[in-house]
């Protein structure tokens, strides 16, 4: 494994590609944005002008894209990765998509004599920058063994969780826990503020006890200070919670808290905050409590609000869908 085609150089993909270069891999990156590969080139990687160029000659092709339709188009499309990659290329989708998409990709790859893995990640932008991501992998044990040197350049917790689609199911569970925890951190901050307790001191002591968590450590201060520069956008977490609820229906499982936090995420998104970090859930708590701190919205915390739930802050793709990065995560 030496040459890696990397498709999707956004908030997560760009630092991940950088770390692969640092680990000694020859990384050929592609993104729709004209300047999207500049960072990779500066780090020592190469620019690909198309999906085909990124896929040809690669030992492995990694995709890091916003949603299932993006992955399907880029990997399974008529001019996609499977059409252009060489025999023996390993396909690794590190996006967060539906388990059904992961299984369809694996079946299509197998039909062409190729192997694929679904390997979504957790840890956010900082985890990607620091190469300490948690990577949950679905696919065969043989493909996982081939990909392990790649994963070791990106993360520190790397687990083969089962067959194709299993990685995405575990990622859905991860997103359920993260969303619920962020909502509870938001409620705790607002409760302390309304009660006249310094939330900075409160969060410090919470972090040292059973309430301590990675979410609290990484998000608590920014939420308290109402800083919502996106590390992980509401639009994407809203999409992920849709995957969670779909998986619950498929498994005939009831998720009462999951249903509630999905509604709260949707409400914040519809209020014009879709392009902001998911820590902006605290705005929803403030609104429900009659304690809104900013009039009308998101301009005070990292960008102007747009009609239609904030997604319009991005670019529209050929299908009419919008992603804030234009394509990639």
Q: What span, in angstroms and rounded, lies between the C-alpha atoms of 14 and 34? A: 14
Enter the tokens of residue 328.
């990639």
Dihedral angle over CA of 311, 316, 317, 319, nearest 10: 80
Classify residue 233 by its DSSP letter. B
**DSSP H or E run through 224:** helix 214-224
Burial of 49 (0-12, 13-18, 19+ CB in 10 A): exposed
Q: Is 316 left (phi over 0), alpha (psi -120 to 50) or beta?
A: beta
Exposure class string for 216-231: b at 16+ Cβ within 10 A, else e: bebbbebbbebebebb
Centre a 10 Å sphere on the Cβ of residue 45 and count the other Cβ atoms it contains: 22
Enter the tokens of residue 46.
């190469």
Place of tokens 């998986």: 247
Enter the tokens of residue 205.
């002591």
Give CA angle at 57 (55, 58), nearest 5°. 60
Q: What span, in angstroms and rounded, lies between the C-alpha atoms of 53 and 66? A: 21
Q: Is 68 helix (H, G, I), strand (E, B) or coil?
A: helix
Which positions are catalytic?
Answer: 171
Classify residue 112 by its DSSP letter. T
Place of tokens 């392009």: 275
């Amino acid at each position: 494994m030496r040459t890696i085609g990397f498709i999707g150089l956004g908030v997560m993909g760009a630092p991940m590609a950088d770390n692969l270069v640092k680990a000694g891999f020859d990384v050929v990156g592609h993104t729709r944005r004209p300047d999207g590969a500049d960072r990779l080139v500066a780090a020592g990687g190469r620019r690909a002008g198309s999906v085909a160029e990124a896929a040809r000659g690669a030992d492995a092709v990694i995709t890091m894209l916003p949603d299932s339709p993006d992955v399907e188009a880029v990997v399974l499309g008529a001019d996609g990765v499977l059409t252009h990659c060489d025999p023996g290329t390993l396909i690794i989708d590190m996006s967060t998509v539906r388990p059904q998409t992961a299984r369809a990709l694996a079946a299509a790859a197998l039909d062409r004599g190729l192997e694929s893995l679904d390997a979504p990640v957790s840890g956010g932008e900082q985890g990607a920058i620091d190469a300490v991501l948690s990577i949950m992998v679905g696919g065969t044990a043989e493909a996982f063994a081939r990909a392990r040197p790649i994963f070791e350049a990106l993360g520190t917790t790397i687990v083969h969780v089962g067959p194709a689609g299993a990685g995405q199911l575990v990622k859905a569970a991860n997103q359920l826990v993260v969303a619920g925890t962020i909502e509870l951190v938001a409620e705790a901050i607002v409760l302390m503020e309304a009660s006249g307790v310094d939330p900075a001191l409160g969060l410090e002591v919470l972090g040292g006890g059973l309430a301590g968590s990675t979410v609290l450590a990484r998000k608590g201060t920014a939420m308290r200070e109402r800083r919502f520069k996106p590390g992980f956008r509401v639009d994407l977490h809203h999409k992920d919670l849709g995957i969670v609820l779909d998986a619950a229906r498929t498994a005939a499982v009831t998720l009462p808290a999951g249903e509630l936090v999905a509604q709260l995420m949707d409400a914040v998104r519809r209020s014009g905050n879709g392009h902001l970090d998911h820590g902006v859930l605290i705005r929803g708590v403030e609104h429900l409590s009659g304690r809104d701190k900013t009039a009308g919205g998101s301009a005070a915390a990292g960008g102007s609000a747009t009609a239609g739930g904030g997604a319009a802050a991005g670019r529209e793709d050929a299908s009419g869908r919008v992603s804030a990065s234009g394509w990639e995560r």
